Structure 1
Amino acid sequence: MSQTTPPALPNRIALVEDHARLASLVERGLGAAGIAVDTFATLESAWHGLTRHGYALAVIDRGLPDGDGLELVRRMRAVGNRIPCLMLTARDALHDRVEGLDAGADDYLPKPFAIEELGARVRALMRRPAALRDPQLVHHRLQVLAESSCMQCGDEQVSLAPAELQIIILLVRAAGQVVRRGALERAAWGVGEAVTPNALDVALHRLRRKLTAIDAGLSVVNMRNLGFALRPTDAAA
């Protein structure tokens, strides 16, 4: 039985971890590197999230309240979901690592671990599938530096808030094509956070000002009843 995998949310990953403090540390650590995180505390909540929303990667703990995280990997692979999976576990025996890789996991990180190493492994896995991640975030003269949470044009550079970063990444990847409002909201705030009706409009307004500040020659254009697109300012006028 196969299932269509939802389009990946760029630079947003799913973390399946029931330990609240560890989940918070991972969210902050990866967030500092420009990677947004949606956290799920159980296998079932993660299954629903992963089948309804696309992610660039899943980081999955093995010891969860409702079972072994490997069962989630097996379940996803059984329906054709090939999202890269990195397993977190206190089990460091060779046979445990082999079992995880045989179940369809792509990498295995034993606890305790350094957030810096987790970040490096996450970035490596996110670079691996070309269909999910481009090597450069460039559109016309604009370059987005996700790990530095900023964008630049020539010698000019401006920092980005977390939501702004996820929005501009999705718009740059679309390369001028229209992106629907819902997709931008999910990229910016994930699937679990309540978003006020005008939150996206406020973020887009700030992005437009920052694009102008660095003389990018681009603006975020509202395509009425369709969504938004990153277009050259002469075409946007």
Structure 2
Amino acid sequence: MSSVARSGLTRILVVEDDEAMGSLIARGLTGEGYDITLVTNGMDALIAVANSDFAAAAIDVMMPEMTGFEVCRHLRQHGSTLPILLITARDAIEDRVFGLDSGADDYLTKPFAFAEFSARIRALVRREASTPKPVLRLGPLTLDTANVRASVHDKQLPLSTKEFSLLRYLVSRSGETVSRSDILQEVWGTTRHIDPTIVDQYVRYVRRKLDPVDAGVKIVTVRGSGYCLVVDGA
């Protein structure tokens, strides 16, 4: 699953209940070339992470109803490896320790210089880009690459090894058009002595398994170019 938006920009989630601060951070990061999703509470943050892929998140600690600590802990308990920067006005050592113990990757206290904040975000984005992803998620679809298992809404989706490899490749390039030769090279390991129509055959197999289970994604044929995996409604 890619954390690059359709626009080609890297996605960052900002969770801040202070409207002025949230807008300031969002404008600053947008100006630096990121695609920003701004939400104002913990529940909306969890929904955003469940439905989109982000390269990093900046989460305010002191929010009503659900604190940044709780958001971070919930994400980690549910398997999310999203790089998280917690931001707060509390600078006590025990608060920093509590934040890191909650699963945060970094911790920044207010007030801060935007240049430092931006540098922390860049570091998290670089770390995320260089870390292998054993589990890929796109909407309700989850691919466990280590165990070669697929599920939709936490229910197992039976796929052959080749079907899984095809779907994994399309998910990793979601929103992009990939050619038959690209798929052959990635899934079959070669483009030599293989009829390219085998790709069309396996795409049909995977479609027949995705369509009845409300997987939230579909494989679109791009005439003359190849295939593209898209999120329903995107």
TM-score using structure 1 length: 0.54
**Counterparts of 1:82 and 1:119 in 2: how far apart (Å)?**
20
Q: Residue 60 in 1 paired to residue 55 in 2?
A: no
Higher relative CO (Cα under 8 Å, sequence separation at least 6) belongs to 1
Other-structure match for 1:83: 82
What one-letter code is carried by the residue in structure 1 that aligns with 2:19?
A: A
2:205 aligned partner: none
- The aligned residue for residue 34 of structure 1 is 33
Partner of 1:21: 20
Q: Is the 8 A contact 1:43 1:67 kept in 2?
A: yes
Distance across 1 between alignment mates of 2:2 and 2:98: 28
Match of 1:127 in 2: 126
Distance in 2 of aligned mates of 1:52 and 1:123: 23
Q: 1:9 to 1:65 in 2, by over 3 A?
A: farther
Quick one: distance in 2 between partners of 1:35 and 1:62? 22
Aligned partners of 1:59 and 1:87 also within 8 Å? yes
Distance (whole Å) between structure 1 residues aligned to residue 4 and residue 41 of structure 2: 21
Q: How many residues align?
A: 142
Tell me how far apart the structure 1 counterparts of residues 87 and 64 of structure 2 sit (CA, whole Å): 15
Aligned-residue identity in percent: 39
Q: Which runs of 4+ in 1 moved over 3 A?
A: 224-228
Structure 1 unaligned spans of 5+: 1-5, 134-172, 180-221, 229-237
Q: Is the 1:27–1:36 contact (alpha carbons within 8 Å) kept by the matching residues of 2?
A: no
2:94 corresponds in structure 1 to 95
Q: Distance in 2 between matches of 1:30 and 1:65?
A: 24
C-alpha separation in 2, matches of 1:9 and 1:81: 17
What does residue 4 of structure 2 align with?
A: 9
Give the secondary-structure state (helix, strand or coil) at the position aligned to 2:177. coil
Q: Name the aligned partner's letter for residue 124 of structure 1.
A: A
- Structure 2 unaligned spans of 5+: 134-171, 179-220, 230-234
- Which has the higher Rg, Structure 1 or Structure 2? 2
Give the TM-score normalised by structure 2. 0.55
Secondary structure of 1:64's aligned partner: coil
Contact 1:56/1:132 (8 A) holds in 2? no
